[in-house]
Structure 1
Amino acid sequence: MTERISGEPGADSRDRGSGTLIRHSEFRTLWAAYAQSVLGDQLARVALSLLVFERTESAGWTAATYALTSLPALLSGVLLSGLADRFPRRTVMIGCDLVRAVLVGLMALPGTPLPLLAGLLVLAQLAEAPFGASQGALMPAVLGERLYEQGQRVMMITHQAGQLIGFAVGGVLVVWLGSHVSLGLNAATFLVSAVLIRLGVKARPVEEPAGAPPRRMHTQVRSAAVLIWSDPRLRSLVALGWLAGFIVLPEGLAAPFAQEAGASAASVGLLLAAHPAGMVLGAALLGRAGLDVERRRRLLGPMAVGANLPLVVYWAGPGVGVALLVLLVSGVFSVYQITAGATFVLLTPAGQRGQALGLARSGLTAMQGIGVAAGGLAAQLSGSSAQTIGGAGLVGTLCAVLVGVSWSRARGTSAGTIPLSA
């Protein structure tokens, strides 16, 4: 039996003749709101790190503050992403933006005590998960099935390019503008995003069956978890995403690896930028390759292996030049995450996409944190960052082979194949 991925009724046929994303005014609005928010977030991360270090002169407190820019997403991804299924998604996005604008604006006030600053930061980050879940669940309705993955590819390129720009000029801008002004600019980006979404995105009702009982938080979380676990395709796609826990390790060990390789501190920035640069290049190549959607899905397993296998080269103790090439190649193959994520969303019932996305992304964040923490401990015990990264590459490759086989089998189960015209 063949199951077709369902999207918004008529969306696919409506988009067949459009040919390009630029004709979608709603997507242009979502992209513009996202792009300037990404740049503002990068600026804020640097500003917070410098502000805390200036006040405390403690590397530990600085690192803890930086961790607060991502760790709250673990909690809100599970508990708050369901808001994207209970309320209109445009409304959730606007609400999250306004809340973050107020909270970050308070953080920008000079003299804000550090404990209050940390509390405001946690609250602001809690709003990230429902916003992201709403945006991800809304995109298929905006673009239709045919262009959805292409839209996700553009968003990923925007995110990675924003990281690259942040690595390159973020520190200089914060020094020039000052930490408080930089935080104020980030607050302004949330206001701009809210206005753009309010004016440029259509209001859509909540997607739920008629006569459905009121949704409760614990029921939503349990239903989404059961949905993912019971469908071998969704389970395999989540596992493919969580392989990022191995791939992120070189980022966490960039500084000790550079020292171990006898390179200068300036090379740390290059090591951090190499993988995002590879993903931007990979996304561009994927867009030009002309592969149909079914072929891209068949290649998920091999590409996941390709994202992990180059890291094994670290075992030989390469110099920074070789490591940069390895990370670039790993980044190119890591674009499989776009197809995996898009397929996951399209396979999830429209009324559960927000909560399911929240669970998947929370797990991804947790796996990345666990990967970096475990890698740091392993490097401390072994005395070698290079061998630790190489070992993670080997284990990641083996896991990618297993998950790739699982995905290949899941695509042919009674749950159905996934035909979708390119």
Structure 2
Amino acid sequence: MARAASPELSGVTLAATKPGRLSGRHRRPPETRITYGEVVAIREFRALWFGQGLSLLGDQLAQVALAVLVYSRTQSALATAAVYALTYLPPIIGGPLLAGLADRYPRRRVMLMCDLLRAGMLATMAVPGMPFAVLCVLVFCVVLLSAPFSAARAALLPEVLEGDRYVVGSAIQNVTNQAVQMLGFAAGGALIAVLGPYRALALDSATFLGSALVIVAGVRRRPSSRREEGGKLSMWNMTMSGARLVFGDRRLRTLVMFAWLCGFYVLPEGIAVPYAASLDDGRLPVPVITGLLMAAMPMGTVVGAFLFGRFVTPSGRLRAMGWMAMLTCAPLVVCLMRPPLEAVLALWALSGIGGAYQLAANAAFVQCVPPAERGQAFGLVQSGLLAAQGIGILAGGVLAQQFGPEPVVALAGGCGFAVAAMLSMLWTETRTEIIAKVRAAT
């Protein structure tokens, strides 16, 4: 691939012109900042955006409904936790194995089939008296199908939103996802109290049907991205091919590590309850403190995504990515000093703001991955993302049991900061070509 002229080379060329005048031939046009309104005006993006929000809201409701249903039938905290854990395991397995379907078949068709299958399974779960074992199997299968759906959707989005529109669209979806999750968990309990868990599961089935209808109406047909020359590849070969692509390229390896850095800075949310108990001074109940702590990072992420996506130029985001990644982890180190609740909330919110660097990492990843293999690549990264979060939270819980939550959060922040600093140095060496591509696309 031909390397575009670097900014340093352009500077030398400009220095050779007459003082005070710029050659029109070498003048660099300003980078265009895409507005949120421009992106929302795109019909296909609106369909993907609305469909995702609809199904995500139903998912949050279903998680609460399942917890209530399983506990009411078994009176077992272990069974309730086991069913909840089933919502994390399938994507880790399904990502590498099933994400290739998004490259092998038309992505719109993959999304539709996943929505329809999940709607049918949830409708079956909503039948009163469904055996517990069958319920567990259906939960596993419903979440398993989220892997090819998410891979198809992630791979389709760069085709709908070109250039910097992709970053702005990702910011809109990031804000929407955080808001829908908070709304779903907050209103889920009250809604289930009115409808009951079985009707709530039926409502979740309806949200998947609604998502399918939105996709049919708003997303146009496209052929499969992978041309079937010489026969179809097996799922295993496609998985290995995706792994070689992602981990065989230095740029992609660095970007994947940036994405998986979240294993450090999501750890505090996993031990929010014991952290809230350590902050209890009688002013607020522990559940209220827990809710405030868990909402701090998502709120910071919403603010950071909005500001980073709207007011920073495309190349500026890529240059700031390393600094933002370090900002995500650095505030957590201060928790070692055991600050009061107000300061902890500010520190965790600041960490969430730094997490907006994921928008730039995502955009750079899209630039480096061939369109025909995006589905498999996104699936692998998503699986690793979930695994990193799960391992981080599990390790945090084990350590917090021994040493308390404050030093564990500080340790996670310190380790994350060190890793982010190392990745920033690697990124500085490899970002030039990607920045040139982004400039050319704006």
Same fold (TM over 0.5): yes
1:296 to 314, 317, 325: 317
How far off its partner does 1:417 sit? Answer: 4.9
Please name the residue that 1:156 is paired with: 174
One-letter amino acid of the structure 1 residue matched with residue 3 of structure 2:
T
Superposed CA RMSD: 2.0
Please name the residue that 1:228 is paired with: 246
Give unmatched runs, 5+ long, in structure 2. Answer: 6-32
Q: Residues of 2 paired with 1:385 and 1:18: CA distance?
A: 39
**Contact 1:90/1:204, CA 8 A, preserved across alignment:** yes
Structure 2 vs 1, CA of residues 211 and 18 (structure 1 numbering), >3 Å: closer, same or farther? farther
How far off its partner does 1:104 sit? Answer: 1.0
Q: Residues of 1 paired with 2:288 and 2:317: CA distance?
A: 37
Report matched runs for 1:70-81 at 5 Å: 70-81=88-99
**Residues 1:122 and 2:122 aligned together:** no
Please name the residue that 2:15 is paired with: none
Number of aligned positions between the proteins: 409
**Contact 1:2/1:418, CA 8 A, preserved across alignment:** no
Structure 2 vs 1, CA of residues 17 and 40 (structure 1 numbering), >3 Å: closer, same or farther? closer
How far off its partner does 1:145 sit? Answer: 2.4
Q: What secondary structure is seen at the aligned counterpart in 2 of 1:233?
A: helix
How far off its partner does 1:189 sit? Answer: 0.4
Q: What secondary structure is seen at the aligned counterpart in 1 of 2:163?
A: helix
Structure number, greater radius of gyration: 2
**Residues 1:281 and 2:299 aligned together:** no
Q: Residues of 1 paired with 2:344 and 2:76: CA distance?
A: 30
How far off its partner does 1:252 sit? Answer: 0.6
Please name the residue that 2:102 is paired with: 84
Please name the residue that 1:340 is paired with: 361
How far off its partner does 1:56 sit? Answer: 2.1
Please name the residue that 1:418 is paired with: 437
1:21 to 39, 58, 62: 39
Q: What secondary structure is seen at the aligned counterpart in 2 of 1:144?
A: coil
Q: Residues of 2 paired with 1:328 and 1:18: CA distance?
A: 23
1:272-294 per-position Cα deviation (integer Å, ceiling 9, x unaligned): 111111111111212332x2111
How far off its partner does 1:195 sit? Answer: 1.1
Which stretch has the larger CA shift, 164-173 or 293-302?
164-173
1:402 to 422, 428, 432: 422
Q: Residues of 1 paired with 2:133 and 2:91: CA distance?
A: 19
Report matched runs for 1:12-411 at 5 Å: 20-209=38-227, 211=229, 213-262=231-280, 264-289=286-311, 291-382=312-403, 384-411=404-431
Which stretch has the larger CA shift, 258-267 or 352-361?
258-267
Give unmatched runs, 5+ long, in structure 1. Answer: 5-14
Q: Residues of 1 paired with 2:81 and 2:99: CA distance?
A: 27
Structure 2 vs 1, CA of residues 356 and 21 (structure 1 numbering), >3 Å: closer, same or farther? same
Q: Residues of 2 paired with 1:274 and 1:234: CA distance?
A: 30
1:125-171 per-position Cα deviation (integer Å, ceiling 9, x unaligned): 11001000000100111122231111111111111011111232221
How far off its partner does 1:211 sit? Answer: 3.2
How far off its partner does 1:19 sit? Answer: 7.0
1:296-348 per-position Cα deviation (integer Å, ceiling 9, x unaligned): 01111100000111111211122322221111111111011122112212320
**Contact 2:332/2:409, CA 8 A, preserved across alignment:** yes
User: % of aligned pairs identical?
Assistant: 42
Q: Residues of 2 paired with 1:165 and 1:417: CA distance?
A: 40
Q: What secondary structure is seen at the aligned counterpart in 2 of 1:419?
A: helix
Please name the residue that 1:11 is paired with: none
